[in-house]
Every structure is written in C-alpha cells, then in structure tokens.
Amino acid sequence: MMIKKSKCSSIQFVFLFLLVGCGNPEGSTEKEGVQLYDTIQVTATAYNSVESQTKKRNPSIAAWGDTLKPGMQSIAISRDFLKEELLEHNDTVLIEGLEGPYLVKDKMNKRWTRKIDIYMGLDVQAARSWGKKEVEIYIPIKSEEIKKEE
C-alpha cells in the first residue's frame, strides 16, 4: 500500500481499524474496514453546555441540532474545516492526549480558525483546567481524496 502526503500535514499517520470477518463476499479487492487518518495542528479549548457559554434557551442543542449530553465525547470545530472539506458533521477524530474517538457534533463561531472546542458536559472546572492547548488531531481521509491521489 502506497501512502502519499495530503494537503493537511507533512507528517501522516495511518491507523488501521480492521473489521472482524472473512473478507469481501463479492470478491472485491477494495480494503473494507481500513480508515486512514491525517494530522492537523490545532488550538484546542473546552466548553460546557451552560447558558453562559452557549445559546441561552437550550445550551445542550448543538449547531446541527444534536443534543449534547454529559459524558459524550464530542467536539465543536471551526468553520474553516468545513469550507476546506477536511471535516464534516459526525466525523470521528482522535485528539492527542485524550482517549477514544470524538465525534464532530458542533460548529464554532465564524471568527475562529484552526480550532476545536472539546465538549466537557457540565463540568466547568474540567474545561477551565484544560485551558488552551496546541494539539494534533487525527482526521479521517475521505475515500474520494485517496482515489484522487492514486
């Protein structure tokens, strides 16, 4: 398998998530269950579903209409990621220093670029403790992007 550099980062990481099974029954050579990830350096802050930080009426409703609940591993993304088609609603990302995958469930104000906001439920102290950090996130490479590079 040949991996080429993408527009996101000069360093590319590959994570393989293999599905349990015995291959493709149709005999296709397509590698199902394999997800390639690229890295992007971002500024990461944290937020909570409280009125002082979000919408006044229902602070648990995200920009795409998803209901955020404490314990969810989700993030808000700056809109430049959407414009550049690097991330979209419900994409799964990995965040340097944090365990498990995070889902893109919210959008940030238009003034921010190259930024994510990590959802921390109602735990305002945890969000303050996180502060502001420069981290790498691992974003899924879309299959169309891989085909263009081949």
pLDDT for residue 114 is more than 80? yes
User: Residue 114 and residue 136: Cα distance in Å, rounded?
Assistant: 11
Query: What pLDDT score was predicted for residue 49?
Result: 94
pLDDT for residue 105 is more than 60? yes
pLDDT in tens, 71-88: 999 999 999 999 999 999
Lowest-pLDDT range, 9-18, 57-66, 79-88, 109-118? Answer: 9-18
Query: What pLDDT score was predicted for residue 150?
Result: 60
Around Cβ 47, how many Cβ atoms within 10 Å?
21
**Which pLDDT band, with edges at 50, 70 and 90, does 27 fall under?**
very low
The topology (CATH level 3) of 39-149 is Barwin-like endoglucanases (2.40.40)
Query: What pLDDT score was predicted for residue 34?
Result: 79
CA 72 to chain centre: 13
Query: What pLDDT score was predicted for residue 11?
Result: 35
**Strand spans (E) along 18-73:** 37-47
pLDDT for residue 125 is more than 90? yes
Domain ranges of the chain: 39-149
**Which pLDDT band, with edges at 50, 70 and 90, does 31 fall under?**
low
pLDDT for residue 29 is more than 50? no
**Which pLDDT band, with edges at 50, 70 and 90, does 145 fall under?**
low
Specify the amino acid at residue 29: T
